[in-house]
């Protein structure tokens, strides 16, 4: 849990090299969270959709907190330009622990250029390449702790159709031990991340990337 009295780490998202090219994959099957419906949130402006499980609050825009800011992506550099598009909250989130999937986008040339660069708060050895719906993303883990508050982040970044897309799985809250009597969190961090990863399997872009378009054309030509 969070260590009281620690200072937050700097939030600069610049000045770090791109991550190694090791590959992994997130299954492309739709999310199958038990007891959830398969409604979908769709953004025509940003060209993506994601499963909207029953019971998960869906908001446009992000809420700020002690460490979890309302900016369009976690650890956004000062002056960073982007749009918070949608947040899907894990059921049961409360003032002790909260978790949500945040998806933001930016078409700023500066943000596109540094899109996949992890922030200074990246956890050593966590950065790698993964695929979501066949699209390559940079994934990394990061976190902060200060004054009995904590923030854990699992981030996915990619440049698609000329824009930077930031998907952040965030778990944040307060050390339960500071309450009297000690509070009981609504879920463990591991459980929250497992739920969010399952929902993330239902993320789709509406338009294919150039390589996928070329592959589709080649497949058609061979038929």
**Which pLDDT tens digit goes with each residue over 154-205?**
999 999 999 999 999 999 887 777 777 887 777 888 999 999 999 999 999 9
Closest C-alpha among 176, 188, 161, 198 to residue 2: 176
32 vs 220 pLDDT, higher one: 32
CA 170 and chain centroid, separation: 7
The answer to whether residue 11 sits within a structural domain is: no
Task: Write the CB contacts of 70 (distance below 8 Å, at least 6 apart in sequence).
Answer: 61, 62, 63, 64, 84
Beta strands 149-160 and 97-106 are unpaired
**What is the C-alpha separation between 175 and 73, in angstroms, rounded?**
24
**DSSP designation for 177:** G
More confident: 204 or 75:
204
Q: How many domains does the chain have?
A: 1
Question: What are phi and psi for residue 147, nearest 5 degrees?
Answer: 50, 45
Residue 159 forms part of a structural domain: yes
Give the number of other Cβ atoms within 10 Å of residue 26's Cβ.
17
Q: Assess whether pLDDT exceeds 80 at residue 129.
A: yes
Q: Does the residue 99 lie in any domain?
A: yes
Q: Which domain holds residue 205?
A: 39-222
Cβ burial 123-162 (10 Å sphere, 16+ → b, else e): eeeebebbbbbebbbbbbbbbbbbbbbbbbbbbbbbbbee
Domain contains 14: no
Under 8 Å between Cβ of 96 and 184: yes
| pLDDT at 18 exceeding the cut of 90 | no
d(CA 83, CA 13) in angstroms, rounded, equals 16
CA distance 186 to 159: 35
Q: What is the CATH number of the domain that holds 108?
A: 2.60.120.1690
Distance CA 157, CA 176 (A): 31
The backbone torsions φ and ψ at residue 88, rounded to the nearest 5 degrees and listed phi first, read -115, 115
112 within some domain: yes
Beta partners for residue 106, in sequence order: 164
Residue 195: inside a domain: yes
Q: Mean pLDDT in the chain?
A: 77
- The verdict on residue 32 lying in a domain is no
Find tokens 């949130």 and name the residue: 41
H helix intervals, 61-113: 109-113
Strands 83-89 and 58-59: antiparallel
- In this prediction, residue 31 has a pLDDT band, given cuts at 50, 70 and 90, of very low
Question: Taking 70 as the threshold, does the pLDDT of residue 68 lie above it?
Answer: no
Residue 67 lies inside a defined structural domain of this protein: yes
């Amino acid at each position: 849990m969070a260590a009281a009295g620690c200072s937050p780490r700097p939030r600069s998202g610049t000045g770090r090299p791109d991550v190694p090219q090791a590959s992994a994959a997130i299954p492309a099957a739709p999310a199958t969270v038990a007891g959830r419906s398969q409604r979908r949130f769709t953004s025509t402006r940003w060209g993506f959709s994601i499963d909207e499980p029953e019971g998960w609050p869906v908001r446009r825009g992000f809420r700020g907190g002690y460490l979890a800011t309302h900016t369009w992506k976690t650890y956004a550099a000062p002056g960073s330009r982007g749009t918070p598009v949608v947040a899907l909250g894990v059921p049961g989130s409360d003032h002790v622990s909260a978790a949500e999937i945040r998806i933001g986008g930016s078409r700023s040339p500066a943000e596109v250029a540094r899109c996949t660069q992890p922030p200074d708060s990246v956890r050593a050895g966590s950065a790698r390449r993964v695929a979501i719906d066949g699209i390559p993303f940079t994934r990394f883990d990061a976190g902060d702790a200060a004054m009995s508050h904590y923030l854990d982040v699992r981030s996915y970044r990619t440049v698609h159709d000329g824009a930077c897309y930031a998907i952040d799985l965030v778990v944040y809250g307060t050390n339960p031990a500071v309450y009297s009597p000690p509070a009981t969190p609504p879920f463990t961090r591991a459980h929250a991340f497992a739920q969010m990863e399952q929902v993330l399997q239902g993320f789709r872009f509406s338009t294919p990337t150039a390589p996928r378009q070329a592959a589709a054309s080649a497949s058609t030509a061979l038929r």
